[in-house]
Amino acid sequence: MNQKPVMLEGVRVVDLTTVVFGPYATQILADLGADVIKVESPGIGDAFRWSGKAAVTPGMAPAWMALNRGKKSIALDLKTEADREVMLGLLRDADIFVVNVRGKALARIGLDYASLKAINPGLIYVHCVGFGQDGPYADLQAYDDVIQAATGTTTLLPRVDQNPQPRYLPSLIADKVAGLHAAYAALAAVVHKQRTGEGQHIEVPMFEVFSSFMLLEHLGGLSFDPPNAPAGYFRQIDPDRQPFPTVDGHISIVTYDDGAVQRIFALLDQPDFLATNGLGTPQERLRGMSAIYQGIARFTPGFSTAELLRRCNEAQIPAQAVRDLGDVMDDPHLRDVGFFQRREHPVEGAWFQQSAPVRFSVAEHGKQIAPPPLHSEHETSVRNQGWKAFDSVE
């Protein structure tokens, strides 16, 4: 049997990023088969190494491991001439440079785009920044919380539950969304380079990225001039659009189309609910979705979650049981598709790696992914061999 090709085999990526935004982008590239060298600072390295409890080695937090598998780690003090020369040596032969250091600091150490273009004209330079560099926020620092605040995301939950206290969504969602944008931008630039031979500078500003992401639906009536409704997508901020209680838990039921709205009450043994509550026509039902959600919530407590799931599946109504975060690893679907893979880290012992979620029919998604590295684990091989370190096993 012929081995399938690896899509990004031979693509060389230098990763000078920390925390989530940049590392998520380079993780995607590593999963697709690229050779990724993660450049960390001496000492503690990427601060995200310390974001949770390690199993064995301090600085090997679980979230860091999830974002940095398949990479080689080297520690460089870029304030010293010797280590800058090591860095420049890697960049001379690199295809992609992903960096989240602010522009002025990069210029001081000769890692700005103009300087690197002079030594590697084909370099794809992906600058992960907080804010677009031609705006008044250009020099400000940005983290996920700051971006959630600036984009209005912290005012979404108050719209739902009428508690005026602004709140963060408990996920590094802005970082991860920005990382996805950085990854696809880098891949688009790879295609452009294959066609033209040109490298280029790419700016990925988290504020603008996440504004676009959140306002796709939530700009709402402000999309028009003059506005014809407030900001916010009404379906998402409806306080009654919540998981429904059952006799033994909660269930998510989505009655998005009118056919499902009509079927759900028959399923709940309440076939006359719509007609007797002024919801007999499609127009009345569209205007009365809050009343429909309230009606569903009245009747679901009479059923077990399993029974409702069975009925919804038979009626072609999307539904899933509400599962605790700590129980997701037990999901039978994720088990059968091999989403969680038990691996043996040479130092940390057994750990669960999450599979890349996208599948390709022709090419392999990526080579066999190496475990996430210890801090500066590949110091000797990368310093001595450069990119040839990927040809040997350390």
Using the predicted structure, report yes or no on whether residue 68 has a pLDDT greater than 60.
Answer: yes
CATH 2.40.50 for domain 244-321, yes or no, is no
CB 60 within 8 A of CB 374: yes
**What distance, in Å, lies between the first and last C-alpha atoms of the chain?**
29
> What stretches of 93-172 show up as alpha helix (H) in DSSP?
103-108, 113-119, 144-150, 156-161
Q: How far apart are CA 315 and CA 305, in angstroms?
A: 15
Instruction: Assess whether pLDDT exceeds 60 at residue 81.
Output: yes
Catalytic center residues: 175
pLDDT of 391: 85
Tell me the pairing of strands 124-129 and 200-205. parallel
So what's the pLDDT on residue 26? 98
**pLDDT for the residue 186:** 98
pLDDT at 295 over 50: yes
Give residue 110's pLDDT band: very low, low, confident or very high (50, 70, 90): very high
Q: Where are the beta strands (DSSP E) in the chain?
A: 12-16, 35-40, 71-75, 96-99, 124-129, 200-205, 244-246, 249-253, 319-321, 340-345, 349-354
Every domain of the chain and the residues it spans:
12-213+356-391, 244-321
How far apart (Å, rounded) are the C-alpha atoms in residues 389 and 383?
9
Q: Do domains 12-213+356-391 and 244-321 have the same CATH topology?
A: no
Is residue 6 very low, low, confident or very high in pLDDT (cuts 50, 70, 90)?
confident
Q: What is the value of pTM for the model shown?
A: 0.94
Task: Please give the pLDDT value at position 361.
Answer: 85
- The share of the chain scoring above pLDDT 90, in percent, equals 93
DSSP codes, 316-374:
T--EEE---GGGGGG-HHHHHTT-EEEEEETTTEEEEEEPPS---SSSBSSSPPPPPPP
pLDDT at 367: 59
Q: Position of tokens 């998604």? A: 365
Query: Which fold is adopted by the domain 12-213+356-391?
Result: Rossmann fold (3.40.50)
The answer to whether residues 207 and 146 touch, using CB atoms and an 8 Å cutoff, is no
Residues 195-204 have a mean pLDDT of 98
Report the chain's mean pLDDT, rounded to a whole number.
Answer: 95
Provide CB contacts within 8 A for 299, sequence distance 6+.
265, 268, 269, 270
Q: What is the pLDDT of residue 394?
A: 46
- State yes or no: pLDDT of 1 exceeds 70: no
